[in-house]
Amino acid sequence: MIDQATINELRNIVGKKNVDTSKISLDTYMYDAGLVYGNPEVIVFVENKQQIAQVLKLANSKKIPVTPRGNGMGVSGGAVANRGGIVLVMTRMNRILEIDVENRIAVVEPGVLNIDLQRAVAPYGLVYRPDPASQKVSTLGGNLGENAGGMVGIKYGVTKDHIVGAELVLPDGQFVQIGGKVEQIVPELNFNALLIGSEGTLGVVTEIYCKLSPASKAVKTMLTAYKTLEDAGRAVSAIIAHGIIPCTLELMDNNVIKAVEEWLHIGLPLQAGAVLLIEVDGWDAGLDRQAQQIIDICKEVGAIEISLAKNAQERDNLWMARRNAIGAMGRLRPNYDMEDATVPRTKLPQILKTVTKMAEKYNITIGMLAHAGDGNLHPLVLFDERDEDEMKRVHKIRHELFRTALDLGGTLSGEHGIGLGKLEFMTWAIKPEYLKFMRHERLAFDPNEILNGGKFVPETAA
């Protein structure tokens, strides 16, 4: 329990208005975009890095749990205060500190929205590549913590490929620079790799160095439809086997197609088992030939419909289904759960088939999205949280889904993280000796385990 003296000290650090213990606020901050809940005892809004250092130092000295939080868009419980304590809200630290166009680096505070960085660098012909579906509302601090992915992962990678360093505050209030803006040439350990995707268990970032890339000069967008999921899966493998690396390769199954079509009436092929949204980008020269190669390949594996966008307007139309897929599915039932089990690319048809069977077996509607080029599955499981029996079946599906993914050589999570949501499956995926190794790493940064304690790396593993 946090006592009044501590609350007063917090008020001294960040100002009275930035410490909130009202019931309504505590309830508002009890969840993220996923399915797990936890009530904090106090919400602290920070405005600068010195405040963060002081709050952490105080919490560390009293061993009070701290949960750093951006906009709470995560889906694995990363921003949920599972142990009470302090929720440290970073959203007021939302300044873009520097856009260094010539050096292609942006320095941002962790509360900056992904989309705001995109908009700020676009006029310079630059782009920050990672574009998670949540980009309009998720913060770069959150993106870093979860190693967020997006639609262009197959060609351009994920967050960890585009963040080159950060300033970090440790639980004892000390600052360290991780990585940096120039090529890292000194013999030292690469803590940047450890930090990205560490789910806020190593420290709190106060500045992030984002690598910017020149925007692609041209893009070709295709929407291709197939009779079955398997055909779509074969198309994915065939495209890759031809040495083509599209920047986008998104799959939607029949449930999603129907949900979108019923809502938006955009003329999607209702009879299709699956559609693939495919995009190639780069320089103008040769892009037509690449697109034609892809069209030929898709025809070969039996595509029943192929549309190639001729202009920006048509491109937007082709993207409309994918952009609205989650919203369309969400309309159907009170709740949805979107998992991100990931398998080697060629195993995608197999896991899609298995999930379809699970949906029938447990009488649950599942719509299937996938970053197909990455083997990253996004089954949208629909249910009503208030229906106990249905919830039991949903949990069974989750268990079977993760078991299947691991058996196919896959992983529990491609881009959403472990957090609290998948903690129970960690021992399936990772040997006890490795859990112990990771625990040592975590404790080297946060010996008292005040940051996101009890998440990601199970505590039993030491």
Partner 1 sequence: MRQETIKALREIVGQEYCQVDKAIRRQHGYSEKAIPDVVVYPENSEQVARVVKAAIEEGCPVVPWGAGTMAWRGLLPLTGGVAINLTRMKKIIEYDYENQTAYVEAGISLKELQEVLVEHKLYWPVEPLEPDSCTLGGCIATNASGPSKLGYGDAKFHLLGLELVTPTGDIIDTGGKTVKNVQDYDNTRFLAGSWGSLGIVTKAMLKLRPLPEKEGTVLIVLKDLEAAAKAATTIRNETLPVALELLDAAAMGILARAGYKPNSSGVGVLARFTGFVEQVDVMIDYIKNKYQAAVTLDEEAAVAVWRARGQLFPTLAGERGAILINAAVPFTKMLEFLTKARTELDKSNIEAIMAAHFGNAQVHIMLAQAPEAYAEVEKMVNSLADLAGSLNGMLVVDNITDMTLARRWVESRGKAIFEIMRRLKTSIDPHQIMAPNSKVLAYVTRPVS
206-225: contacts with partner 1 (CB under 8 A): 214
Phi, psi of 79 (to 5 degrees): -100, 10
State the nearest-atom distance from the C-beta of 425 to partner 1, in Å.
9
State the nearest-atom distance from the C-beta of 262 to partner 1, in Å.
31
State the nearest-atom distance from the C-beta of 409 to partner 1, in Å.
5
**Among positions 51, 114, 413, 452, the unique one binding partner 1 when judged by CB under 8 A:** 413
* Residue number with CB closer to partner 1 (5 or 189): 189
CA distance 448 to 442: 10
SS (H, E, C) 100-150: ECCCCEEEECCCCEHHHHHHHHHHHCEECCCCCCCCCCCEHHHHHHHCCCC
Q: Which residue, 406, 461, 402, 405, is CA-closest to 434?
A: 461
Binding of partner 1 by 123 (CB under 8 A): no
Binding of partner 1 by 458 (CB under 8 A): no
* Residue number with CB closer to partner 1 (237 or 317): 237
Binding of partner 1 by 197 (CB under 8 A): yes
Point out which span in 254-262, 360-368, 389-397, 425-433 binds partner 1 (CB under 8 A).
425-433
| Site residue total, partner 1 (CB under 8 A) | 84
State the nearest-atom distance from the C-beta of 168 to partner 1, in Å.
9
Cβ of 258: how many Cβ atoms within 10 Å? 17
What is the SS3 assignment for 212?
Answer: coil
**Is residue 173 left, alpha or beta, with left meaning phi > 0 and alpha meaning psi from -120 to 50?**
left
Determine contact, residues 316/264, Cβ cutoff 8 Å. no
The helix-helix angle for 312-330 and 254-264 (nearest 10°) equals: 100
User: Which residue matches tokens 């630290």?
Assistant: 93
CA distance 37 to 29: 9
CA distance 333 to 44: 34
* Residue number with CB closer to partner 1 (92 or 211): 211
Distance of CA 226 to CAs 90, 161, 236, Å?
A: 45, 33, 12
Binding of partner 1 by 194 (CB under 8 A): yes
* Residue number with CB closer to partner 1 (183 or 388): 183
Within positions 254 to 313, which residues make up the interface with partner 1, using CB under 8 A? 282-283, 285-286, 289-290
Q: List the structure tokens of 175.
A: 């600052």
Binding of partner 1 by 178 (CB under 8 A): yes
Binding of partner 1 by 156 (CB under 8 A): no
Within positions 351 to 380, which residues make up the interface with partner 1, using CB under 8 A? 371, 374-376
* Residue number with CB closer to partner 1 (40 or 179): 179
Q: Which residue, 458, 374, 373, is CA-closest to 411?
A: 374
Point out which span in 30-38, 40-48, 150-158, 360-368 binds partner 1 (CB under 8 A).
150-158
Determine contact, residues 272/305, Cβ cutoff 8 Å. yes
* Residue number with CB closer to partner 1 (191 or 226): 191
Binding of partner 1 by 77 (CB under 8 A): no
Determine contact, residues 318/222, Cβ cutoff 8 Å. yes
Point out which span in 81-89, 252-260, 381-389, 429-437 binds partner 1 (CB under 8 A).
429-437
Binding of partner 1 by 388 (CB under 8 A): no
